[in-house]
Structure 1
Amino acid sequence: MDPKHLQLNLWTPSISFSSSSFDHKHHLPSSPSNLNVTKGHHQEFLHLDLTLGPPPDPSSNPNRNPAVAAPTGPRARANPFQKLKGGKSETITAPYPWATARRARVHDLNYLQSNNIRTINGQVECKVCQTVYTIEYDIEEKLKGIKDFVLGNRWRMNDRAPKCWMYPRLDNCKTCGSSLKPVIGKKRDINWLFLVLGQMLGCCKLSDLKYFCKHTKNHRTGAKNRLLYIAYIELCKQLYPHGPFHL
């Protein structure tokens, strides 16, 4: 017998049913005896012809695309510290005497003292009457309060800014009594030292904090309280490059 040609003969009985085998009232068979199988049944054969052809040729598959190769390994993660776009540089003209020529960076305390920079100033604006004021801060006096607060509470912050940083207490306008918010312009011109000494970094937008984290090589993903905490600690590190905030 040809191994590629297989012939099967299957016998099946022919069964007929009587029309009286169903109860017209309930549409169900009344009893098994109503099932009448004809005595003179004859044998019927089903002829199945199974032919085994040759195996398919892989080269004949029209959907096969050899140019698309399966991945050989896990995809590399994107670098969180992206380079600047074309035409931009990390170095800029220092916007303030206490700021460096690098984006989002200030001079350390030793540099400020050696260059006789004892005070700094910045602008605030009334939220209602839009009157602009210039406020001056003593660097050492303000830094002492921030340093004591961070070192005394950092262990309980859980890398998140506390509410007093998220919702800073603002001074009142002398004209109408409304709150004074810091003037924040272009990101490259933000007065970071003025904001941290006045504990007003919480007035920054999330995009401002992401800008700061990007140019200080910190991760800039997360909620605002996370990025705000990073900004405070990073500025403290810039002012005290030899400790005690490098933990």
Structure 2
Amino acid sequence: MRPPPLALTSGHQLDGGGGSQADLKLSLQQPQPQRVVALPLRHNRRNPRQIISQGKSPTIQPPFPWATNHRAIIHSLKHLTETGITVVSGDVQCKRCNRQYQIEHDVKAKFAEISCYVMENKYKLNDRAPPVWLNPVLPNCRFCGQENCVKPIMAQNKKAINWLFLLLGQMLGCCTLAQLKYFCKHTRNHRTGAKDRVLFLTYLGLCKQLEPNGPFDRL
């Protein structure tokens, strides 16, 4: 007795002796199109802390005899002494009479005051500038005689800021937050946070530049 014919569930009919089964097998082995999944683009994060804008030269013309040819970097006290720089000057303006003139600071005497203050209070400050640095007492005007009214004249170009003059006069608190961040950026210091924190780092950073072996490292 002959077996019943096989039923094809794929809808194909046998053609002359079973050749269609080979065709069916080949069709099932055809490669299927692969799905292409678009992966999101990855952007390399760059640390903005150390980045200097493209096109800027790594060195500058020193804006003062006590400044180096690098942004926000001053010469050490040893270098200043060896080159005969004992006094630094800076431009100021009275907020009352608007007179402009220059003030001079003795480098060693003024730096000694700041050094003593840092050594006595460093462990109490908790990485934050004290009120006397945030809101400095300004000099009296030599022309109109008004007290606490002579402010430093800030250079519009940050690379020309008179950092040593501001340090010795303890008037860094007159800088804007953007100017203080500029200093921290070019001296490889953390530059985020409130003004009292960035100002503290600026004071310590400048003291460290003047006296690299002094007690001016962060805790």
Contact 1:220 1:227 in 2 (8 A): yes
**Cα offset, 1:128, TM superposition:** 2.9
Q: CA deviation at 1:67?
A: 1.4
Whole-Å separation in 2 of the counterparts to 1:103 and 1:162: 26
Conservation of the 8 A alpha-carbon contact between 1:122 and 1:194? yes
In 1, Cα distance between the equivalents of 2:78 and 2:115? 16
Give 1:239's aligned residue: 210
The aligned residue for residue 81 of structure 1 is 49
Q: Does 1:122 align with 2:90?
A: yes
Structure 1 equivalent of residue 183 of structure 2: 212
Task: Using the TM superposition, give the Cα deviation of residue 243 of structure 1 relative to its aligned residue in structure 2, in angstroms.
Answer: 2.5
**Pairing 1:152-191 to 2, within 5 Å after superposition:** 152-176=120-144, 177=146, 179-185=149-155, 186-191=157-162
Q: Give the SS at the match of 1:136.
A: strand
Conserved in 1, the CA contact under 8 Å of 2:92 and 2:153? yes
Q: Is the 8 A contact 2:50 2:186 kept in 1?
A: no
Matches within 5 A, 1:29-48: none
Equivalent position of 1:37 in the other structure: none
* Larger RCO (CA under 8 A, 6+ residues apart): 2
Q: Secondary structure of 2:115's partner?
A: helix
Aligned partners of 1:111 and 1:139: how far apart in 2?
Answer: 12
C-alpha deviation, 1:69, in angstroms: 5.6
Residue of structure 2 aligned with 1:131, choices 90, 93, 99: 99
TM superposition shift of 1:174: 3.1
Deviation at 1:76, TM superposition (A): 6.5
Which residue number in structure 1 is paired with residue 13 of structure 2? none
Gaps of 5+ in 1: 1-58
Identify the structure with the greater strand proportion: 1
Deviation per residue, 1:142-162 (Å, 9 max, x gap):
011000000100000000000
Give the CA deviation at 1:241.
Answer: 1.1
Contact 1:184 / 1:190 at 8 angstroms: preserved in 2? Answer: yes
| Cα deviation, residue 127, structure 1 | 1.5
Structure 1 or 2: more helix by fraction:
2
Residue identity opposite 1:221 in structure 2: T
Give the conservation status (yes or no) of the 8 Å contact 1:80–1:219: no
Aligned equivalents of 2:133, 2:167: Cα separation in 1: 10
Distance 1:124 1:196 in 2: 14
Whether 1:224 aligns to 2:192 is: no
SS at match of 2:97: coil
Task: Give the distance between the partners of 2:192 and 2:58, measured in 1 at CA.
Answer: 21
Cα distance, 1:209–1:68 mapped onto 2, change above 3 Å: same
Distance (whole Å) between structure 2 residues aligned to residue 93 and residue 235 of structure 1? 19
Identify if the C-alpha distance between structure 1 residues 68 and 229 changes in structure 2 by more than 3 Å, giving closer, same or farther.
Answer: same
| Identity in percent | 50
Query: Partner letter of residue 167 of structure 1?
Result: N
- Could you tell me how far 1:102 is from its partner in structure 2? 0.3
The two structures have a TM-score, normalised by structure 1, of 0.69
Matched residues, number: 184
Which structure 2 residue ranges, 5 or more long, are not aligned? 1-31
* Correspondence for 1:112: 80
